[in-house]
């Protein structure tokens, strides 16, 4: 299943207005789109001392299956096991001294929470984290090792986010959005800065899309490079909310079924700026089944021993679904994280091929 969307070129500098909870939003969307690539480059310099520049490694197995040169951007080797540390670190470094002193609030299925916990501990900032009940046990266990307050909430990630925003407002603390924030998006986009340096001759990049922060930042940066790099937005069939929204021309609510890609599951916040970025900058969309995700996870493990999470499997499965579209060319797949809990991993292995 695929859908295409056109890119729109915008000009002008972004102007920002401060709003509640330390959040900063663009005064004009066209200015926001134009300014984001520069914000990403600044973020890359800002967070460099605090993150790992993750490796980009050739995958012989995927290359053989697609007749392309397939490279894996291993964000599962980031300090917290996922790309989320980039955005969280950039956001906290952009807070004022007064905002940091008040402490921060966030919500996450796990990876963003781990990133905020790590960055907050590093910068000596108190953090309260709201988690949906279905959050990965492995991620929760990791969170408990940090000096942060954890609050479990019923429902999915969107419900946890609503509860967190209410708490942040009541406490007058900055809310650290998992995706709907310029500094978060800019931080995630730094992966593209590294990709362009590590392999400048890419024909396409495959990225899993949840709330759209990773794809929004990366696609904006890649488009601004003026290189003919196609961006593929990848989602699980069981929770393809961003794709449904792009097709509808507005953010919509759709049912999210259980998925191995728990890190990308759930709804999108109303008026999220990531929707516009995904609508304007993603070239093609692909969805994959749960069986395809599991197969991709096993494939990567057999080849390299890397234990990747379901969200990363979505991007790998999407590449495999395109067949030999990029035969003879170089493509990259973002392995967005490796924090898969033991029970889920065991189920993936037991399914077998």
**Is the pLDDT assigned to residue 240 strictly greater than 60?**
yes
Average pLDDT for 300-329: 95
**pLDDT band, residue 16 (cuts 50/70/90):** very low
Q: What is residue 140's predicted lDDT score, i.e. its pLDDT?
A: 85
pLDDT of residue 91: 98
Q: How many CA atoms lie within 13 A of 323 on its CB side?
A: 1
**Mean pLDDT across 34-57:** 96
Rounded distance between C-alpha atoms, residue 98 and residue 305, angstroms: 45
Tell me how far apart the alpha carbons of residues 218 and 188 are, in angstroms, rounded to a whole number: 7
Q: Please name the residues in contact with 182: beta carbons below 8 A apart, sequence gap of 6 or more.
A: 16, 24, 25, 26, 32, 36, 39, 273
12/31 Cα distance (integer angstroms): 5
- Give the integer Cα–Cα distance in Å for 280 and 282: 6
Alpha carbon of residue 58 to chain centroid: 22
Mean pLDDT comparison of 9-18, 106-115, 199-208, highest-scoring range: 199-208
The average pLDDT across 17-37 equals 54
Taking 50 as the threshold, does the pLDDT of residue 13 lie above it? no
In whole angstroms, give the CA distance from residue 36 to residue 20: 22
Tokens representing 243? 């794709």
Distances (CA, A) of 260 to 72, 178, 285, 337, 347: 20, 19, 19, 13, 10
Helix (H) or strand (E) holding 320: helix 310-321
Q: Worst-scoring range by mean pLDDT, 16-25, 56-65, 207-216?
A: 16-25
Q: Do residues 279 and 171 make contact, with C-beta atoms less than 8 angstroms apart?
A: no
Residue 296 has pLDDT above 90, yes or no: yes
Q: Please classify residue 159 by burial: count the beta carbons closer than 10 Å to its beta carbon, then call 0-12 exposed, 13-18 middle and 19+ buried.
A: middle
Q: What's residue 125's pLDDT?
A: 97
| N-term to C-term CA, the chain | 23
Side-chain half-sphere of 176: how many Cα atoms within 13 Å?
37
CB neighbours of 106 closer than 8 A, spacing ≥ 6?
112, 113, 116, 127, 128, 129, 130, 164, 175, 176, 177, 178
pLDDT tens sequence across 179-229: 999 999 999 999 999 999 999 999 999 999 999 999 999 999 999 998 899
Q: For residue 223, what pLDDT is reported? A: 93
The DSSP output letter for 204 is: E
Predicted confidence (pLDDT) per residue in 322-337, tens digit:
988 999 999 999 999 9
* Token pair for 249: 């021309």
pLDDT value at 172 more than 70: yes
The answer to whether 214 and 208 are in contact (CB under 8 A) is yes
pLDDT tier for residue 265 given thresholds of 50, 70 and 90:
confident
Q: To the nearest 10°, the Cα dihedral for 293, 299, 301, 307?
A: -10
Does residue 17 surpass a pLDDT of 50? no
CA torsion sign for 289, 285, 243, 26 is positive
Q: Is the pLDDT of residue 78 over 90?
A: yes
């Amino acid at each position: 299943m695929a859908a295409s969307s056109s890119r729109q070129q915008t000009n002008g500098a972004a102007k920002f207005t401060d709003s509640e909870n330390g959040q900063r939003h663009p005064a004009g969307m066209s200015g926001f789109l134009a300014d984001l690539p520069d914000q990403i480059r600044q973020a890359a310099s800002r967070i460099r001392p605090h993150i790992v520049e993750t490796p980009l490694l050739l995958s012989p197995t995927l290359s053989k299956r697609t007749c392309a040169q397939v490279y894996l951007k291993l964000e599962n080797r980031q300090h917290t096991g996922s790309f989320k540390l980039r955005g969280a670190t950039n956001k906290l470094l952009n807070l004022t001294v007064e905002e940091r002193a008040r402490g921060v609030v966030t919500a996450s299925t796990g990876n963003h929470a781990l990133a905020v916990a790590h960055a907050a501990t590093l910068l000596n900032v108190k953090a309260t984290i709201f988690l949906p009940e279905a959050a990965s046990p492995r991620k929760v266990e990791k969170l408990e090792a940090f000096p942060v307050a954890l609050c479990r909430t019923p429902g999915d990630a969107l419900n946890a986010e609503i509860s967190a925003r209410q708490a942040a407002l009541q406490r007058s603390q900055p809310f650290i959005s998992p995706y709907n924030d310029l500094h978060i998006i800019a931080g995630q986009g730094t992966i593209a800065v590294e990709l362009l340096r590590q392999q400048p001759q890419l024909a396409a990049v495959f990225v899993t899309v949840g709330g759209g922060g990773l794809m929004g930042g990366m696609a904006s940066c890649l488009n601004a490079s003026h290189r003919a790099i196609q961006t593929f937005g990848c989602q699980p069939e069981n929770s393809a909310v961003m794709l449904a929204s792009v097709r509808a021309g507005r953010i919509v609510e759709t049912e999210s079924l259980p998925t191995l890609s728990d890190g990308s599951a759930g709804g999108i916040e109303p008026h999220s700026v990531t929707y516009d970025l995904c609508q304007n900058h993603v070239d093609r969309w692909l969805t994959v089944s749960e069986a395809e995700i599991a197969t991709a996870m096993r494939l990567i493990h057999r080849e390299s021993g890397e234990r990747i999470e379901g969200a990363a499997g979505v991007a790998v499965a999407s590449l495999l679904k395109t067949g030999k579209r990029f035969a003879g060319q170089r493509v990259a797949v973002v392995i967005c994280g490796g924090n898969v809990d033991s029970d889920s991993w065991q189920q993936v292995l037991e399914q077998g091929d």
